[in-house]
Amino acid sequence: IWKYFVLLGILFSFNFGFSQYCSSNGNNTSDEYIGRVQLNTIDNSSGAGTTSTGYSNFTGISTSLMRSTGYTITITPTWTGSHYPEAYRVWIDYNQDNDFADSGEQVVSIAASTTTPVSGSFTVPSGATLGNTRMRVSMKYNGYPSYCETFSYGEVEDYTINIISATPSPEINIIGNGLSISDGDTSPNISDDTDFGDVDVSSGTATHTFTIQNTGTANLNLTGSSPYVTISGSNAADFTLTATPSTPVSSSNSTTFDITFNPSATGTRTASLSIANNDSDENPYTFDIQGNGIVPSPEMDVQGNSVSIADGDNSPSTSDNTDFGSTGIGTSIVRTFTIYNTGNADLNLTGSSPYISFSGANASDFSVSVIPNTPVSANHSTIFKIKFTAGGLGTRNATLSIANNDSNENPYNFSVRGTGTLATGICTTTINSYPYTESFESGFGGWTQDVNGVTDNFNWSRLNWITPTSNTGPNSAKNGNYFIFTESDGPSTGNYANLQSPCFNLTGLTNPRLTLFQHMYGSNMGTLKVELSTDNGTNYSSVLFSQSGEIQNSGNSSWIPISVDLSPYVGQTVKIRLQGIRGSGSRSDMAIDYVTLTDRADPIYAPGGVVSDLSLWLKANDGLGLSDGQSVTNWQDQGLASDAKVHTSGQEPTYRDNVNKNINFNPVIEFDNTYSSFSIDSDYSHNNTSTEFLTGDYGYYTEDIFIVIIPDNTNITSSFGFMDVICGDSHLDTNATDTTGIGFGDFTGRISNEVICYAHDTYQTSESGDGYAVAQTGSASYDNVGIINTRNNNANTQQELYYNANNIETLQNDVAEYMNTDDTRYWIGRSEGWEATTNARIPEVISYKTRKNDSDLTQERNRIQSYLALKYGITLGTNGTSQDYVNSDGTVIWDADNGTPSESVFNNDIAGIGRDDASELYQKQSRSVNNASDGTGRTQGILTMGLSQVYNTNNLNPNTLNDKEFLIWGNDGINLNNPAVVVDVDMSTNITPTIAGGSWVQFNGIARTWKVVEVGGDIPSVEVQVLKNAIRTATPPDGRYLMFISDTPNFDPTADYRVMTETTNELGEAIVSTDYDFDGTKYITFGWAPERIYTRSIKFTGATADGGNNDYIDMEDALDLNS
């Protein structure tokens, strides 16, 4: 006990003395500080102010300096940026009076500079007091520091110096684990390796390495006999020297030795080490060692929030995660716990997976969401997570139990609890990826019920059959087998059921769209609301949909989509609430199914490149991935609208991509329905599998609609029958025989004698002429493909009606009821209340949210029409006068009237090939779809051109064009039966001397001429085909057909020609064909040239009129050596 107090007193005295030195520091080290100090055995690199701002206490670092001996100290500054001038001073308290004020104690002084490093030398006075003292190193910006100064920029560092005698002598010091072990130490410690810790008595050992340092000035000799280290004490046999130190140890050097602990029994095992040496005051050098012999066993400790939870704890607390806090009913909180094994053997969790069980009043509210691992090795851990889902209001209690192999803590038990509250303002589940779909096939998914009696009165139910109450509810699900509904046999009138969605994170989305399907059949039907919250469900301030009363008239009626554009909420997190309010009786079972939330990027391609306000864009050459003859179940929209889908299996139209069905070599969708009679779909079930149609859930706008269509099996007249081509739903709140779209023939009872008609909504038969419509009435007849366009007029007071850009309107009906329908569901091939009647092929359907401008023909509307016309071989306007065609930039690519009368007559049967990436137009071969015949044969659409070659379909043509390159043609419409145009030309004209009788040749061509215009770049060679029957007035007697090519509409001796080959086209028609590379504007016709034989000679004189010697004839590549 006496030695303990003496040691404590010495330590107290030592620390007290050192603490009397004055303080000194720099106030800012952001620009410079002392980076390294080197003196004798000190070599210390450091950062800025490791103890406090501008000061580092390194008194734990020391070196021995000998009296009367010279030394050099080197200081290296560190600058963080620019190099600033620094001054340096060093002091050593030689007389150990706790200051640096005495003469000679300032040992180095260096003027300010940017030199690095700097050095100074000094000699230790012969009278310096022996033992430990302090050295202070100071660096100051641009001026000498003083030893007690606080200055602006720089740093101060303190070190320990051991002043030793000038007479060389050894000094022994022993280190374990980097710490000095005092001579005579009797308190073994883990920190300096003198305590070997726990070691298994059966198979374990622990080896520690110790270092013998010589901090003196003479050799340190280990004077005992080898191995120089003696082990004694009660359990000396448990400790063995396994590595021997070396001797002698020169000044400032060291040697090591190893001690291995191998316990022979459990408990604390002790011994003492002794090392004989020639250090005059530490011989022998002794210290005690110990270790603990153990038999390995696990030790379990469970922590929550880094706080240990005692086995048997029954006081849940938020501090250790055993109290989960509050959460809304049906919502969850997850807490993490850690099992530590502080023992020295594997900890096994001995129960069955998930290894954790619950008991108590509310055990079902708690579950394991992350299972712990087993076994847990010694000094390791594993985590587990517990999810608390509030099953009711108030405090919810349970006991958690973990079976294990810890002998005194098995099982490990503690209590847990949580509190159930009303679930508002909480996102327990957040949807971050899309598309999202919930059909309630496996439960409610992430949707949660409100609390009965608190925030609503009863719950939504889930069912896979008809609802229990008769004459209400759907007969089947919209998607899959299950749907959700409000069972109204039980609740009272006005009672309501709320169902909340998970949270939807709309951050980063572009065009989010919520769609769900409702069924509201029942004579006592109440109110259905779809509401939106932007504060995680605290408030539902936005009503997206609200409907009261019966909509469907049968359990068999189709589900009706509710679709909402959520783009106003992009960047926010929203929740959706379904609220069903019971009506006046039990027949009030409303139902919901097939909830989706999707996102679409803004279109970058569009018809004519017009992306602004594009909604619906269906085209048969994209979005299908089918082969000819396959059924169409889903026609993928290329805009922002719903895909067009089959309603019931068996109703699919057919994808066609063959020579007999295609339109201008492009694929179509074929609808095959009866058009001579019609029938009402009285229960609005849309389930007649003897009909063919497609339906979309949203995205149909009446502001501007384009559809390309060709009727099959009948001409379209006012009396042929009936076709509901494309129709929408102007009132989702009621089932009705709604048209709201385009139809043929007897389309609507509100008007008579219609051929092509647009009508809106339904009409009242009791009121003559009720309901808006615009129509072409009379005797018109259509049997070919055309572009039908209906759109708002400029004032938005009525609708316009066009066919191939021609205004065909002859009647406006009930203009007072004119209005638009926006973003509704739609049908192709039928209307809402009438069975399908369309018998036609449709390659393209387009709907815009706004009327497309057309103040001139370079603007939006004509860009769209030009795209469709070139793609499908349609002549815009009146055949013969037509109109300009433009590309997606508005650049004119076919000029119908360039101001030269002789060049502006070629506006019949316009067709072309070309590429326009903004429109996704890539037409590689084309012929006009005009198909008039005169009894002898076809007189229109007789010319076909294809890039390199004409293939059976456009998509089979592998050749390429560049963007915005076009080759377009039209003809002058001259009758093919007109006499041939005969051109006689004297080929000897201007030849000297004059040839008697001349050398006359003759060209015989049909009366019709075509103008061919190359625009936007160099189109490669094309195959040119023309019906053989069309060359009826210039048929060659020798069968050698020719194509004549001219730079002007007049064919003269400068005209080029190509020999044509007889063959058949993809339709089996007799044609003649050749290849030609058109450049700029050319004019072509077809015929023959009678053979004329003349004997003539050419003399090459070697001279020309200009005196040169370069006369020659260029025969081009017309010479055929094989013939």
- pLDDT tens-digit readout, 907-938: 999 999 999 999 999 999 999 999 999 988 99
DSSP 495-563: -EEEEEPPEEE-TT-SEEEEEEEEEE-BTT--EEEEEEESSTTS---EEEEEEES---SSTTSPPEEEE
- Residue pair 1043/1055 in contact (Cβ under 8 Å)? The answer is no
pLDDT for residue 999: 82
Is residue 304 domain-shared with residue 195, that is, in the same domain? no
Cα angle for residues 859, 1080, 897 (degrees, 5° grid) = 45
Structural tokens at position 1083: 């004019």
Structural tokens at position 100: 């640096």
CATH code of 727's domain: 2.60.120
Is residue 120 domain-shared with residue 185, that is, in the same domain? no
Per the model's pLDDT, the better-predicted residue between 874 and 66 turns out to be: 874
Alpha carbon 1074 to its chain centroid, in Å, reads 50
| Bridge partner list, 304 | 307, 337
Residue 232: pLDDT band with limits 50, 70, 90 = very high
916: in domain: no
| Phi, psi angle pair for 327, to nearest 5° | -150, 155
pLDDT for residue 1040: 87
The predicted model gives 725-739 an average pLDDT of 89
Is residue 381 domain-shared with residue 461, that is, in the same domain? no
Q: How far apart are CA 324 and CA 894, in angstroms?
A: 75
Q: In the chain, what percentage of residues exceed pLDDT 70?
A: 96
User: How many structural domains are present in the chain?
Assistant: 6
Q: Give Rg (Cα) of the chain.
A: 50
Residue 1002: pLDDT band with limits 50, 70, 90 = confident
pLDDT for residue 1035: 87
Is residue 45 domain-shared with residue 63, that is, in the same domain? yes
Residue 804: pLDDT band with limits 50, 70, 90 = very high
| Phi, psi angle pair for 12, to nearest 5° | -65, -45
Q: What is the DSSP letter of 735?
A: -
Residue 818: pLDDT band with limits 50, 70, 90 = very high
Question: What is the tens place of the pLDDT at every residue in 1078-1089?
Answer: 999 999 999 988
Residue 1097: pLDDT band with limits 50, 70, 90 = confident
pLDDT for residue 6: 28
pLDDT for residue 1032: 92
Question: What is the tens place of the pLDDT at every residue in 107-116?
Answer: 999 999 999 9
- Residue pair 669/620 in contact (Cβ under 8 Å)? The answer is yes
- Among 593-597, 731-735, 781-785, 948-952, which is the least confidently predicted range? 731-735
Is residue 592 domain-shared with residue 626, that is, in the same domain? no
- Residue pair 531/542 in contact (Cβ under 8 Å)? The answer is yes
Is residue 335 domain-shared with residue 225, that is, in the same domain? no
Residue 454: pLDDT band with limits 50, 70, 90 = low
375: in domain: yes
323: in domain: yes
pLDDT for residue 4: 29
CB atoms within 10 A of CB 217: 18
Residue 723: pLDDT band with limits 50, 70, 90 = very high
Is residue 185 domain-shared with residue 277, that is, in the same domain? yes
- Among 202-206, 479-483, 576-580, which is the least confidently predicted range? 202-206
912: in domain: no
Question: What is the tens place of the pLDDT at every residue in 311-355?
Answer: 999 999 999 999 999 887 778 899 999 999 998 889 999 999 999
Range of the domain at 725: 615-756+767-772+779-787+818-852
pLDDT for residue 1115: 61
pLDDT for residue 1104: 60
Q: In the chain, what percentage of residues exceed pLDDT 90?
A: 79
Is residue 1083 domain-shared with residue 981, that is, in the same domain? yes
Is residue 401 domain-shared with residue 490, that is, in the same domain? no
End-of-domain residue from the set 539, 572, 600: 600
Paired sense of beta strands 70-79 and 118-123, if any: antiparallel
751: in domain: yes
Structural tokens at position 527: 């109110």
Is residue 150 domain-shared with residue 30, that is, in the same domain? yes
End-of-domain residue from the set 164, 185, 201: 164
pLDDT for residue 1105: 56
pLDDT for residue 453: 66
908: in domain: no
Is residue 187 domain-shared with residue 335, that is, in the same domain? no
918: in domain: no
Strand ordering across the sheet containing 323-328: 323-328, 412-421, 394-402, 356-359
pLDDT at 407 > cutoff 80: yes
Residue 213: pLDDT band with limits 50, 70, 90 = very high
Residue 15: pLDDT band with limits 50, 70, 90 = very low
pLDDT for residue 988: 79
End-of-domain residue from the set 565, 600, 635: 600
Supply the mean pLDDT for the chain: 91
Residue 5: pLDDT band with limits 50, 70, 90 = very low
DSSP 984-1047: EEETTTT-SSPPTT--EEEEEE-S--EEEEEESS----EEEEEEGGGGTTS--TTS--EEEEES
CATH code of 358's domain: 2.60.40.10
CA-CA-CA-CA torsion for 770, 776, 779, 780, nearest 10 degrees? -150
| Phi, psi angle pair for 835, to nearest 5° | -65, 160
Structural tokens at position 465: 């059959």
The predicted model gives 357-361 an average pLDDT of 96
How many Cα atoms sit within 13 Å of 886 on the Cβ side? 20
Question: What is the tens place of the pLDDT at every residue in 508-547?
Answer: 999 999 999 999 999 999 999 999 999 888 889 899 999 9
Give the containing element (helix H, strand E) for 860: helix 860-872
pLDDT for residue 737: 86
With b for 16 or more beta-carbon neighbours within 10 A and e for fewer, the 1050-1065 pattern comes to: ebeeebebbebeeeeb
Residue 13: pLDDT band with limits 50, 70, 90 = very low
Question: What is the tens place of the pLDDT at every residue in 128-176?
Answer: 999 999 999 999 999 999 999 999 999 999 999 999 877 778 999 999 9
Is residue 452 domain-shared with residue 379, that is, in the same domain? no
- Residue pair 1043/1004 in contact (Cβ under 8 Å)? The answer is no
Q: How far apart are CA 141 and CA 152, in angstroms?
A: 8
Question: What is the tens place of the pLDDT at every residue in 536-589?
Answer: 888 898 999 999 999 999 999 999 999 999 999 999 999 999 999 999 998 999
- Among 278-292, 443-457, 472-486, which is the least confidently predicted range? 443-457
- Among 319-333, 362-376, 775-789, which is the least confidently predicted range? 319-333
1099: in domain: no
pLDDT at 746 > cutoff 60: yes
* Predicted structure pTM score: 0.65
| Bridge partner list, 580 | 497, 528
Nearest Cα residue to 48 out of 173, 155, 162: 155
**First CA to last CA distance, the chain:** 130
